[in-house]
Amino acid sequence: MRGLVLLIRRPVCQAGPKGLLQERLWFSSSARRLANPLRKQTGKITNKLPDTPCRTRFAPSPTGYLHLGSLRTALYNYLLAKATGGQFLLRIEDTDQTRLVPDAEKRLYDDLGWAGLTWDEGPDIPDGSYGPYRQSERLHIYDQHADQLIREGKAYRCFCSPEALEHHKQAAHARGEPTHYPGTCRSVSQQESDARAANGESFAVRFKSGDKPMVIQDMVYGRYQKNEREEDFIIRKRDGFPTYHFANVVDDRLMKITHVIRGAEWLISTPKHAEMYAAFGWESPVFAHVGLLVDEKRHKLSKRDSGVDMSWYKERHILPDTLLNFALLLGWGRPSSVKSDVMTLQDMVDNFAPKFSKGDIVVSLGKLSHLQNKHLRRLLDQEPTPENLSQLEVISKPIWDIVESVSKTGLDGLLLPLEKALQDQDTSLLTSHVRDILRASKQLPDPLDPDSLQEFVLRDCIPFFFRFPEWDGGDLVNFGQFNQIIEEWDCDVAIRKAHVYLDQLQVAVRKTITSSSSSSSKIEGGNNEWKTNPEIVQKLVKTSAPVREKKNIKLFYALIRWALTKQHHGPSIVDVIRLIGPEETNSRLDQARACVQRFKDKLIYIE
Q: pLDDT averaged over the chain?
A: 83
Helix (H) or strand (E) holding 378: helix 366-381
Task: Evaluate whether 340 touches 287 at the Cβ level (below 8 Å).
Answer: no
Question: Is pLDDT above 50 for 40?
Answer: no
Which carries the bigger pLDDT value, residue 525 or residue 395?
Answer: 395
| Residue closest to 204 by CA, chosen among 151, 242, 164 | 242
Least confident of 65-74, 359-368, 387-396, 478-487: 478-487
**Is 303 a catalytic site residue?**
yes
Question: Is pLDDT above 70 for 412?
Answer: no
| Residue closest to 444 by CA, chosen among 320, 341, 317, 537 | 317
Q: Provide the pLDDT confidence category of residue 515 given band limits of 50, 70 and 90.
A: low
Question: Is pLDDT above 50 for 526?
Answer: no
Given the DSSP bridges, would you call strands 259-263 and 286-290 parallel, antiparallel or unpaired?
Answer: parallel
Provide the pLDDT for residue 287.
96
Average pLDDT score over residue span 530-547: 80
| Residue closest to 379 by CA, chosen among 444, 446, 455, 307 | 444
Task: Evaluate whether 233 touches 180 at the Cβ level (below 8 Å).
Answer: no
pLDDT for 178-230, tens place per residue? 888 999 999 999 999 999 999 999 999 999 999 999 999 999 999 989 988 99
| Residue closest to 328 by CA, chosen among 50, 16, 76 | 76
pLDDT for 112-130, tens place per residue? 999 999 999 999 998 888 9
SS3 428: helix
Provide the pLDDT for residue 571.
85
Average pLDDT score over residue span 500-507: 85
Q: Provide the pLDDT confidence category of residue 599 given band limits of 50, 70 and 90.
A: low
Average pLDDT score over residue span 237-264: 96
CA distance 605 to 491: 6
pLDDT for 313-370, tens place per residue? 999 999 999 999 999 999 998 888 888 999 999 999 999 999 998 889 999 888 999 9
The answer to whether the Cα torsion of 352, 355, 361, 362 is positive or negative is: negative
What percent of the chain has a predicted confidence (pLDDT) above 90? 47
Average pLDDT score over residue span 414-427: 76
Which carries the bigger pLDDT value, residue 568 or residue 446?
Answer: 446
CA distance 564 to 153: 85
SS3 217: strand
Provide the pLDDT for residue 281.
97
Residue 15 — φ and ψ, nearest 5°?
-80, 135
Task: Evaluate whether 91 touches 108 at the Cβ level (below 8 Å).
Answer: no
Provide the pLDDT for residue 13.
33
Task: Evaluate whether 202 touches 158 at the Cβ level (below 8 Å).
Answer: no
CA distance 362 to 301: 9
Catalytic site residue from 303, 339, 408, 550: 303
Provide the pLDDT for residue 551.
77
The model carries a pTM of: 0.83
- In angstroms, what is the C-alpha Rg of the chain? 34
Amino acid at 166: E
CA distance 138 to 95: 10
Provide the pLDDT for residue 420.
76
pLDDT for 140-193, tens place per residue? 999 999 999 999 999 999 999 999 999 999 998 899 888 889 999 999 999 999
What percent of the chain has a predicted confidence (pLDDT) above 70? 83
Provide the pLDDT for residue 474.
56
Provide the pLDDT for residue 417.
73
Q: How many other β-carbons are positioned within 10 Å of the β-carbon of residue 21?
A: 13
Average pLDDT score over residue span 600-607: 53
